[in-house]
Structure formats: C-alpha cells, structure tokens
Amino acid sequence: MLALVQRVSRAKVTVDNELIGEIGRGFLVLVCAEQGDSKAEADKLLAKLLKLRVFNDAHGKMNLSIQNLDGAGTLGGLLLVSQFTLAAETTGGNRPSFTNAAAPALGRELFDYFVARARTAHPIVQTGRFAADMAVELVNDGPVTIPLRIPPAA
C-alpha cells in the first residue's frame, strides 16, 4: 500500500460543494492500494503512519507522532483520502499507467478497512469519499510531505 502523508495546519475535502471531511492540525493522508495488497499491508501502513515522528516537540525537533501530540497539549487529526493515482507508472512515456493500482473493488475494501482500523486506533479521523471527484484543500505545515510504501508480501 502507498500513502502520501502531509503534515497540515488544516485540511478539508468537499464533494459537489459539500464539506465531507475536515481537520485542524494533523495529517492529510492520500492512500492507495496496489495489486497484491491485503489487510496485512493496510495494518502495517497504519502502524507506520501513527508512529511517524514528524511533529515538533518543545525544542522544535521533529520528534512527536500524531499519537503523542496529546502529550504536548494538542490532539492531531487524520484526514484519509483514497487516491489511486499514487500507483502511477511514469517511466514508459508521458501518459501515466495505473495498472499497478488495485482493482476498484479491492481498493474500496482496503480503504474502508484502513479507515475502520484508523478509527479504532485514533480519536479524530475524517475521510474523503471513495471514487468521488473530490476537492482537497490543505495548508501544508513545514512543508512536511512523506511518502510511505508497504510492499505486498511475496
């Protein structure tokens, strides 16, 4: 599974001019399931995401995860958005190929599973809408943008 994690001051997603997800400080996470992915990869990706230490501690050092921001007096949110284009293959020409992305049914299943697991592990979780034409707005804090990849098990 793939994720593009952006540390944000705030982020929101709308569909047809309707606000469907919004957070303050936290992570906007674009999530993509690839062919061969399973719930095991989703679990590993979530564990990595929740432990990613990119928030500043009291000394200004990136040393806090989203889970221990609360110890710093704040609680960060997760805005999870499905994004199959993260699986783009661009080495063969100018038009990206998306053949590495999971089929839509598997992509939806794994995204829904990822969201459900995130909601059991973290108190503030908002989402986009799978396969919708979404408008995503964010204020990238830093900027800090981290790609994560958990390859399918062999």
Q: How far is CA 117 from the centre of its chain?
A: 13
User: Residue 28's closest CA among 117, 151, 128?
Assistant: 128
User: Residue 128's closest CA among 75, 96, 83?
Assistant: 83
Mention every residue, 6+ apart, whose C-beta is less than 8 A from residue 123: 75
Tokens 């998306």, residue located = 98
- What amino acid positions are annotated as catalytic residues? 83-85
Exposed/middle/buried for residue 125 (C-beta within 10 Å: 0-12, 13-18, 19+): buried
